[in-house]
């Protein structure tokens, strides 16, 4: 039998398509527009003008949400809304000038499936109980669970947090994610998607809030309102909605629009899908500018 040369062996190893591997699929869970995918090629909305109109309507209705001002101040965006307000919502360990990327990731995990008040309490409790992330990694899981129990799902969140810290230490030799600031958006998505339990919404939140990148997280509120506005087809799921909106919404509007839609979704029971199946249009039209926009789009 003829022996393979070194060149032939090298070629033989490179033959399989890397896209078929599980690691490729996992790395691309959160990848958006630049990978060439187009979830709804025949669906052109929303237009930049539509996005701007919704932003302006919600800003006039709610003002800019105070809870997001400290994150907005870190971005190069034109002044908007209540920029002069003092930020009374800061908690221990979340100073906007000192917050690390790892702090941001952990706080995002703690915010899942709970209220903002409870997630803030859980994060503050975690930071006050453990001086460093190294001490969280070394601590007994039960102790960490007790510390963050006020945020709900303590066992699940503890497992996720300790898993991230363990994986990060094995990979980098330290517990620091500041290197992500030097990477592209797609590189950041691949890095964060490697951690077990980190999905596209968490990645997008870290990108938008803690790395000051232009991304558009899709949570329940954003997803429902995108459907109300007919910005995505009726059959759209969350993942395709995320891909589509990140393609269509102008980068300079993503942060403000996302914060405003999220805020509106919490208070408007009709357009967020929490109201009756047949809302009273004459009542909702006076209170909710988005319902007027959706009716005009028919």
What is the per-residue pLDDT across 42-57, written as a single tens digit (0 to 9) for each? 898 999 999 999 999 9
Residues 188 and 211 sit within 8 Å (Cβ to Cβ): yes
Q: What is the pLDDT of residues 212-264, one digit of tens each?
A: 999 999 999 999 999 999 999 999 999 999 999 999 999 999 999 999 999 99
pLDDT category, 294, cuts 50, 70, 90?
Answer: low
What pLDDT is attached to residue 55? 97
Residue 33: CB atoms within 10 A of its CB come to 15
Please report, for residues 112, 116, 118, 196, 241, the alpha-carbon distance to residue 152 in angstroms, rounded to integers and kept in the order given: 9, 12, 8, 19, 27
- In the chain, the domains with their CATH numbers are 43-88+214-298 (1.10.1670.10)
Mean pLDDT of 100-104: 97
Active site residues: 201
What pLDDT is attached to residue 30? 37
Q: CA 80, CA 69: separation in Å to the nearest integer? A: 10
The residue with greater pLDDT, 252 or 270, is: 252
The residue with greater pLDDT, 187 or 13, is: 187
Q: Would you call the peptide bond into 46 cis, given omega within 30 degrees of 0 as the criterion?
A: yes
| Tokens of residue 4, six digits | 């393979």
Instruction: Specify the 3-state DSSP secondary structure of 159.
Output: helix
Mean pLDDT of 118-132: 97
pLDDT category, 280, cuts 50, 70, 90?
Answer: very low
pLDDT category, 189, cuts 50, 70, 90?
Answer: very high
What pLDDT is attached to residue 17? 41
The residue with greater pLDDT, 166 or 293, is: 166
What pLDDT is attached to residue 259? 98
The answer, yes or no, to whether residue 211 has pLDDT greater than 80, is yes
Q: CA 173, CA 155: separation in Å to the nearest integer? A: 26
Q: Which residues contact 199 (CB under 8 A, 6 or more apart)?
A: 29, 30
Please report, for residues 2, 56, 148, 176, the alpha-carbon distance to residue 245 in angstroms, rounded to integers and kept in the order given: 55, 18, 33, 31
Token pair 């300079």 is at which residue?
252
What pLDDT is attached to residue 108? 97
pLDDT category, 269, cuts 50, 70, 90?
Answer: confident
What pLDDT is attached to residue 78? 81
Quote the pTM value.
0.79
pLDDT category, 97, cuts 50, 70, 90?
Answer: low
Q: CA 190, CA 105: separation in Å to the nearest integer? A: 15
The answer, yes or no, to whether residue 72 has pLDDT greater than 90, is yes
């Amino acid at each position: 039998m003829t022996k393979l040369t070194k060149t032939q062996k090298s070629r033989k190893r490179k033959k399989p398509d890397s896209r078929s591997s599980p690691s490729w699929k996992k790395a691309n869970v959160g990848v958006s527009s630049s990978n060439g995918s187009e979830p709804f090629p025949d669906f052109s909305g929303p237009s930049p003008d539509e996005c701007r109109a919704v932003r302006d309507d919600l800003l006039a209705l709610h003002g800019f949400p105070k809870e997001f001002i400290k994150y907005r101040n870190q971005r190069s965006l034109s002044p908007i809304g209540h920029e002069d307000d003092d930020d009374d919502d800061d908690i221990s360990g979340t100073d906007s000038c000192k917050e690390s990327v790892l702090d941001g990731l952990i706080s995002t995990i703690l915010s899942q499936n709970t209220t903002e008040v409870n997630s803030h309490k859980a994060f503050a409790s975690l930071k006050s109980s453990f001086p460093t992330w190294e001490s969280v990694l070394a601590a007994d899981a039960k102790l960490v669970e007790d510390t963050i129990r006020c945020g709900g799902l303590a066992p699940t969140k503890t497992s996720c947090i300790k898993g991230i810290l363990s994986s990060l230490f094995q990979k980098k030799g330290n517990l620091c994610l500041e290197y992500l600031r030097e990477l592209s958006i797609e590189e950041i998505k691949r890095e964060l998607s490697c951690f077990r339990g980190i999905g596209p919404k968490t990645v997008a939140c870290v990108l938008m809030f803690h790395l000051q990148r232009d991304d558009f997280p899709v949570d329940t509120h954003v997803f429902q309102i995108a459907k109300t506005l007919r910005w995505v087809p009726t059959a759209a799921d969350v993942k395709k909605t995320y891909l589509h909106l990140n393609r269509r919404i102008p980068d300079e509007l993503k942060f403000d629009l996302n914060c405003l839609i999220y805020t509106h979704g919490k208070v408007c029971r009709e357009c967020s899908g929490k109201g009756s199946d047949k809302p009273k249009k004459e009542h909702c039209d006076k209170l909710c500018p988005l319902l007027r926009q959706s009716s005009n789009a028919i």
